[in-house]
Amino acid sequence: MTRLTRAPLPPEDRRRLDEQAPRTWQRMLSGRRLNLIEPSPLDIEIHDVALGLSRNTRWNGQTAGEHGWSVAQHALVVVEILERRQPQSPSWVLLAALLHDAPEYVTHDLITPLKAAVGDVFREIETRLQEAVHLAFNLPARLPDAVKAEIKRCDLIAGATEAVQLAGFKPSEVRTILRIAERPLKDMTLAPLPSAAAREAFLARFEQLHRAHRHALAQGAQPGAAEFRF
């Protein structure tokens, strides 16, 4: 598997970050200290990821129901949609789908308008975190374009479905306001869970997919092959 070494942040960005936030790491409940600017795969712990994602809500928490719709549940839905669309997906692709928003366990789920306003530095931090997560769990740092595009499409389908069922948007507004071309699913019911239940569901799915992925690696599988196609 290709290991990716990213270049250091440009000096001007590094200097600005040092001035504004001298401490660039966060202590996790596992005891690990994750450098948010230059993350190491060795500091990524799945229980930290699951805890953060299960307590981090989508749509800024503005969803129907007693409990928020967590990023952890969103990730589970994305995997389910991918399995529906691509039933022959190998375990590493499903695992990548489950972890597609993993950086948000520390960056949080910024809504699209805010993320656009924040700019390139934030996107670079997200990218570095995503690559560290991938390497921590034996995935290619950068996914093949076909895999990345299919996961993104499933992500948009999930988002469209959430918008209508949970966030108060009309189906027509998914396209006109949210600018999502994918149609909301009508045969999937979304039910927000308490954060503890969402965390356990996420961890259970992770263990299933990661176990299958490790087994495939032991059998000689090569995830991330550039020629991969669905």
Rounded CA gap, 160 and 186, in Å?
11
**What are the domain boundaries of the chain?**
35-218
Topology of the domain covering 35-218: Hypothetical protein af1432 (1.10.3210)
C-alpha span between 225 and 40 (Å, rounded): 23
Position 217 scores a pLDDT of: 96
Q: What is the mean pLDDT of each run of 10 residues along the chain (230 residues)?
A: 57 69 87 95 98 97 98 99 97 98 92 76 92 98 96 98 99 97 98 99 99 96 75
| CA quadruple 127, 131, 133, 134: dihedral, nearest 10 | 140
CA-based nearest residue to 137, from 217, 225, 51, 221:
217
Q: What is the pLDDT of residue 21?
A: 62
173's tokens: 């507004």
What is the pLDDT, as a whole number, of residue 109? 79
Q: Which residues of 52-77 are buried (b: 16+ CB within 10 A; e: fewer)?
A: bbbbbbbbeeebeeebbbbbbbbbbb
Q: What is the pLDDT of residue 3?
A: 46
pLDDT at 230: 76
Determine the Cα–Cα distance for residues 154 and 135; give it in Å rounded to an integer: 22
Give the predicted TM-score (pTM) of the model. 0.89
